[in-house]
Amino acid sequence: MKLGAIFPQTEFGNDPVAIRDYVQAVEDMGYDHLVIYDHVLGADASVRPGWRGYGLGDAFHEPFVFYGYAAAVSKHLELVTAVIILPQRQTALVAKQAAEVDVLSGGRLRLGIGTGWNAVEYEALGEDFHTRGKRSEEQVRLMRELWAKPVVTFEGKWDKVTAAGLNPLPVQRPIPIWFGGSDDRLLERVVRMGDGWFPLFGLNADGKAKLEKLRAIAAERGRDFKTIGIESRVDFKGGNEDAWNKTTRDWKAEGASHMMVNTMGAGLKTPKDHIEALRKVKPAITV
């Protein structure tokens, strides 16, 4: 099982030296990959009664720029977005940015994508919140063409490219695309289009039912379930070695190929605290 660390960006701060030290510590500890979340804007909750979710006080580094930096200060870490909110962005620009990170990192990008939940960001970025699911499918098709061919002509419902292409092309052709989410429509999309999946749940009865649904869809479509990467999450908060180990083993038994560690929400105060938390968790999840 491949092991990753979630960059604790809402609790980390903006010191580039601390960020460098964190990235290098994750690599030196033997983690296989680094994971970063994505939000472009924070919403002002004071004018949105009942708002639930990230707001103005939550810091988010921009994933592609961040990984351009991380690529330069690391050697082996896979760089993972979990997830880029794809439909709120221009498709060709995402393809360009992803290709650039892949080039600068020597082929270490894994692009996790999702449709998101925050209509505030869609409004600000000039995209339609209500067509985001279907649009993401078209975007994936176009990005894969742009990553594989020097010249592309493509016409879809939302995107059009006429005899144009990316330069440089990525090292990986195509860059792996993983989907995040748990809606039944998303599960079908994972089987049909995805290299892997980030499930957003624990292994309770509902979570296991989602996994069975994914297996059933794969069987219906003739896809070997083992070819679908699955990355779950273990939380440092409230856990201990036995709990972390059990979570990891349970997910591995269900077919998970990757596990990421979340150190946010545990009251850790400094970048060093987050590094030490990762150091503490790792032996328990190495299975």
Give 54-71 pLDDT, tens digit per residue: 999 999 999 999 999 999
CATH classification at residue 88: 3.20.20.30
Whether the per-residue pLDDT at 200 is higher than 90: the answer is no
Mean pLDDT of 236-243: 95
Q: Checking DSSP bridges between strand 177-180 and strand 78-85, what pairing results, if any? A: unpaired
pTM above 0.85, yes or no: yes
Domain assignment of residue 74, given as a range: 2-285
Q: What is the DSSP string of 89-109?
A: S-HHHHHHHHHHHHHHHTS-E
Average pLDDT over residues 20-40: 98
Mean of per-residue pLDDT scores for the chain: 97
b/e burial code for range 19-42 (CB count within 10 A of at least 16 → b): beebbbbbbeeebbbbbbbbbbbb
CA atoms of 159 and 183, how far apart (whole Å) = 25
What average pLDDT does the segment 161-170 reach? Answer: 98
Number of domains in the chain: 1
